[in-house]
Structure 1
């Protein structure tokens, strides 16, 4: 696909909102499965991409951010390190160079919402060991965000941690998995150990310990990039107890730690040369009860008590600014009750999810003054949310209405201004309607209209205007999908999905317009393409995206990503024991980057770049190496010198990776 072809497709699809076809990717022939690396979700109106365990293992990612870099519409900032890395979906989420996270993108781990709001220059959602997860789902746009938030206009990342059942087969009572990996650039190494135990048919226990370390990496010119090294120990303990066939309890505790010494305050080396020491801790925990009586499809009840603690402890004695030694902490405690009902009304089959969440978030950023830093106010957010999603199957037509209502009370605590105890209340609703119509077994058209509301956050306490302003957005999506077997040859499968979208945001209080004072409205539109082809001879995955975004005054909006195309070509040998693939990514140049005045001002062009990677996996199914997984790869094969758009430093140069894993 040439650039002109991609641009032409986008120019037709976005204004007319009439995207192209889409195809599937797995065909089952007796006991033979022909598949590529990634499924294309052609059976839903939602713009979603799921990275399963096989793909997570194949990518050998060092960070959670790296796992999502191949998803169309997703752009990463400084993804080679967990500290300072951030995620941008459809131009929203991470504000490059300013905020590492905001409420426009949800990140959810095992159903527990994560994120530190708009923490200045240190916010990150991604300080988590990627080996903890067995699945990562990336939802682009607000299509299925209403279970977690009313304001996730950009999208949602749902990550699911491993379970003991993933390693115990049949009558197994014990399993142990050990993985060792190494990468050449930065002398990175990782060791993960997993213990799975099932003493009887009621109790499953999993214990995970991982240790990942890396020195500062080198870019393609051999220049060592400061502040990119890290050490990341990680832990997970999870237990599930089945009281009866219908009733079970699950408890989980995960912890990640990073100790940084003599690094730039913003972790990416660009903030006035200020050096600090910092300890980063991320905790995610929950206790859940599941009740699903087998004889009652109206009840599939989950009650969940969740806790999240994200701490960036700045150990520096620097007092030239309160932000440099402030300890930034965000804690969340919430109770979630939801039920999934299956029932019919005439010809319509319903899958109705109803939920309620009540919780409290507490944010602090205590500096040497004993109060919160001026740019990161502290306080509490007490909230209540009700939500409904009903998937209505009418045969060829599926309708999915969604609704969420939230009310909150934000109270100032530990700030010079506003005074302690100052409170602001707000309430609003958000909702969406999605439709998918399968007009043949292979072809389907789909669309979504979504209305989002982002209530004020604790970070807005510095502005009385922001505290009484609710950001709003309206998103339209329209697309076409195709999924069929025996398309080009017998025993093959082709899946293809194209989505065009348009989003208008108004009452903006999150992003700054460096062109003018016109910052109330942002208009975004784009197109995303996913294609997968699999046959006994080879497989191909294609992902592409293009989008444009402007302020209400017509000037460019900084955060819209570069146009990108990624193609993976692979082949399996030896009865699928050996898998070899090559992957190409091309990002086109962009001059739509209007720089922040602190970063030199003006508008600059980010050059185009192309990178190539090789990957191989050998998983023998017999002999002395049966059950061993051996993976090797080369990233940035030709040592391309490039800095991805929205990143603050050059990407790593050529990197060799190898890993060995086995379940005992």
Structure 2
């Protein structure tokens, strides 16, 4: 019955929306402009094109794809990238990201510094704090692009310890909603989800009174009840209520000098949930109020007559607060207000010049800042399990992209120095300090073999320095080290089987070795060295009639003892087939994901217990009429887990949602 109801609702949207478009629906179908299709797509594939022009393993999710996927969480946006695995991604609380087996410690910690997350250049998620340390709570409607870098690649601009990868997200601007000559617009979006009876409203006001000033105001509200899995069982602690807001201003003083300021805030209000949000490690129930504030002010000076200067100065602030209220007094952590604040000032310059036959693009930067961590409990001091203190740091970095004919070399270097100081801890004296520094870097190369083929490789060295969480243990004096080797090849061509079609493919193999590990532990609670290796493959084919996208990943991990490293994800592959109709007004796509069973684990329960294979499918329809009464309105529908499959992904602590129909309507006034 649920299948029939969902399919009928999906078909109703497809059938009713075109009648509002008037005569446009009767026009002959023209599929000549296939490249503008914006339906649900596989990330990193033909919708944006596989990134074949770089040695970095990266995916750029555009605004069109963000709209098409209709994700409820930032984590959901990343789930179809090869090498990226999510834990509990169906909810903003407790969701976490794993890239190439690193990042979230499934079932225990929500984040760690092996995966860096940056929002508008503001670093997020610096501490662990069990599952409550997750940094994926922010409202996805805030973003216009999200770039995911797999491996250390280009991460040294932001972090020296991002061994797994980097998520770099950029929020919307007023100019994104103003066409030439417009000074004011309002964008309203309403959305409904059947599984959990979810509702979302997103309101954007864009104003540009002249060519110098532009202002964007955003307010969003999202709520959902507990979702049901494929067997019909209700998954506890998955309900949420999430209001969000953002104000962004940009002022172009001259053609060369501009100023930008932005502040955004997202809340997630939870009642009577497990302390870790997923119920796997704690029996205590809490009321939790999660607040995330991100703000920055910057100037950019880019004189048109000097290629050596493109200077950006930026003051950034991040505040991540989790307020807990519990009836129990058995542990201070259940009533602790966990807070991590980060304030930094940075200057960055990009210079373009040539030396003989070599063209250089040199990026240099310096950042100085301070993190402050507190977890004040009902004892008026920090909870012993999550110590408080400050982390003062300074970093200097440089990258040079050198192009010599068909060869591109990119050396990167970063030096960072930190001082961690204990504050407000019962067992650690105030003023106790620990200092550490690191010098890390990478060398990437790419060589073009003719017009279509290229080979590439990267050698990187990372150091993940101690965090404030380590004040309560001996790891406070240890930096984790890692080396990563990447090798790969890419292919990019057009007019293969017919005029105007295109084929793209990229194959990347990597091997990572981590020593002095302080984050993960094996079955005997020993902290050993870790070895990871894997392969990622992306391919796409597109012509005027349809497109096919495919990606797959295979990752293996083990301790130096030969024991399985349980955080290595399952093998997975994904295929997307899509087509557009009615002169690009109607877009339809089907997406199929298969994950193989995984018995490469020493765990017998929880997120890292052996998992079964599963195959899930989804459908998406997007109708955007270009004339008639509904001109300028976007109608979207997506049906996830089409066959209501009951499954639990490896590295997830709970079963995935069952069938879910999402309907949305968007209009710009």
TM-score exceeds 0.5? yes
Residue 143 of structure 2, aligned match among 120, 133, 148: 133
Q: 2:574 — aligned with what?
A: 566
Secondary structure of 2:584's counterpart equals coil
Aligned equivalents of 1:609, 1:189: Cα separation in 2? 29
Q: CA deviation at 1:648?
A: 0.5
CA contact (8 A) 2:34 2:543 kept: no
Residues 287-314 of structure 1: per-residue CA shift (max 9 Å, x gap): 0001011111111000000000000000
Q: 2:491 — aligned with what?
A: 482
**Cα distance change on mapping 1:571 and 1:390 into 2, 3 Å:** same
Larger mean CA deviation between 431-440 and 412-421 belongs to: 412-421
CA contact (8 A) 1:34 1:534 kept: no
Secondary structure of 2:533's counterpart equals strand
Q: 1:10 — aligned with what?
A: none
Aligned equivalents of 2:482, 2:281: Cα separation in 1? 32
Q: 2:599 — aligned with what?
A: 591
**Cα distance change on mapping 1:31 and 1:527 into 2, 3 Å:** closer
Residues 477-524 of structure 1: per-residue CA shift (max 9 Å, x gap): 00000000011221101110010000000000011112463x230000
Aligned equivalents of 1:248, 1:366: Cα separation in 2? 40
Secondary structure of 1:121's counterpart equals helix
Residue 575 of structure 1, aligned match among 580, 583, 587: 583
Answer yes or no: is 1:555 the counterpart of 2:560.
no
Secondary structure of 1:491's counterpart equals coil
Q: 1:431 — aligned with what?
A: 441
Q: 1:502 — aligned with what?
A: 511
Q: 2:25 — aligned with what?
A: none
Secondary structure of 2:548's counterpart equals strand
Secondary structure of 1:466's counterpart equals helix
Q: 1:17 — aligned with what?
A: none
Answer yes or no: is 1:149 the counterpart of 2:159.
yes
Q: CA deviation at 1:32?
A: 7.1
CA contact (8 A) 1:587 1:608 kept: yes
Answer yes or no: is 1:524 the counterpart of 2:532.
yes
**Cα distance change on mapping 1:516 and 1:378 into 2, 3 Å:** closer
Residues 576-595 of structure 1: per-residue CA shift (max 9 Å, x gap): 11110000001100012322
Larger mean CA deviation between 507-516 and 555-564 belongs to: 507-516
Q: 2:427 — aligned with what?
A: 417
Q: CA deviation at 1:457?
A: 1.0
Aligned equivalents of 1:515, 1:418: Cα separation in 2? 28
TM-score, normalised by the number of residues in structure 2 = 0.93
Q: 1:369 — aligned with what?
A: 379
Secondary structure of 1:48's counterpart equals strand
Larger mean CA deviation between 114-123 and 175-184 belongs to: 114-123
CA contact (8 A) 2:609 2:650 kept: no
Secondary structure of 1:591's counterpart equals coil
Answer yes or no: is 1:259 the counterpart of 2:273.
no
Secondary structure of 2:575's counterpart equals strand
Q: Show the 5 A alignment for 1:136-285.
A: 136-285=146-295
CA contact (8 A) 2:108 2:281 kept: no
Secondary structure of 1:245's counterpart equals coil
**Cα distance change on mapping 1:600 and 1:48 into 2, 3 Å:** closer
Residue 444 of structure 1, aligned match among 447, 450, 454: 454
Q: 2:480 — aligned with what?
A: 471
Aligned equivalents of 1:198, 1:657: Cα separation in 2? 33
Q: CA deviation at 1:38?
A: 3.8
Q: CA deviation at 1:317?
A: 3.6
**Cα distance change on mapping 1:346 and 1:620 into 2, 3 Å:** same
Residue 393 of structure 1, aligned match among 388, 403, 416: 403
Aligned equivalents of 1:594, 1:129: Cα separation in 2? 36
Residue 71 of structure 2, aligned match among 61, 65, 68: 61
Q: 1:623 — aligned with what?
A: 628
Aligned equivalents of 2:104, 2:288: Cα separation in 1? 21
Aligned equivalents of 2:476, 2:116: Cα separation in 1? 21
Secondary structure of 2:662's counterpart equals strand
Aligned equivalents of 1:156, 1:299: Cα separation in 2? 27
Residues 545-589 of structure 1: per-residue CA shift (max 9 Å, x gap): 000000010000110000000111000111111110000001100
Residues 591-623 of structure 1: per-residue CA shift (max 9 Å, x gap): 123228xx589x842111100000011111222
Gap runs ≥5 in structure 2: 1-30, 38-45
Larger mean CA deviation between 508-517 and 328-337 belongs to: 508-517
Secondary structure of 2:175's counterpart equals helix
Secondary structure of 1:569's counterpart equals strand
CA contact (8 A) 2:33 2:584 kept: no
Q: CA deviation at 1:444?
A: 0.3
CA contact (8 A) 1:633 1:658 kept: yes
Aligned equivalents of 2:634, 2:359: Cα separation in 1? 43
CA contact (8 A) 1:205 1:240 kept: yes
CA contact (8 A) 1:34 1:535 kept: no
Q: CA deviation at 1:269?
A: 2.1
Secondary structure of 2:600's counterpart equals strand
Residues 112-158 of structure 1: per-residue CA shift (max 9 Å, x gap): 00004221232101010000000011000000110000000000000
Secondary structure of 1:218's counterpart equals coil
Answer yes or no: is 1:454 the counterpart of 2:459.
no
CA contact (8 A) 1:34 1:492 kept: no
**Cα distance change on mapping 1:64 and 1:199 into 2, 3 Å:** same
Residues 152-196 of structure 1: per-residue CA shift (max 9 Å, x gap): 000000010000010111111001100011110000110000000
Aligned equivalents of 2:374, 2:175: Cα separation in 1? 39
Secondary structure of 1:232's counterpart equals strand
Answer yes or no: is 1:640 the counterpart of 2:645.
yes
Residue 382 of structure 1, aligned match among 392, 416, 423: 392
Aligned equivalents of 2:577, 2:641: Cα separation in 1? 16
Q: 1:23 — aligned with what?
A: none
Aligned equivalents of 1:230, 1:604: Cα separation in 2? 27
Secondary structure of 1:467's counterpart equals helix
Secondary structure of 1:298's counterpart equals coil
Aligned-pair Cα RMSD in Å: 1.4
Q: 1:14 — aligned with what?
A: none
Gap runs ≥5 in structure 1: 1-28
Q: 2:84 — aligned with what?
A: 74
Q: 2:122 — aligned with what?
A: 112
Aligned equivalents of 2:603, 2:333: Cα separation in 1? 23
**Cα distance change on mapping 1:363 and 1:401 into 2, 3 Å:** same
Aligned equivalents of 1:527, 1:123: Cα separation in 2? 29
CA contact (8 A) 1:577 1:621 kept: yes
Aligned equivalents of 2:351, 2:55: Cα separation in 1? 21
CA contact (8 A) 1:38 1:541 kept: no
Q: CA deviation at 1:31?
A: 7.4
**Cα distance change on mapping 1:274 and 1:154 into 2, 3 Å:** same
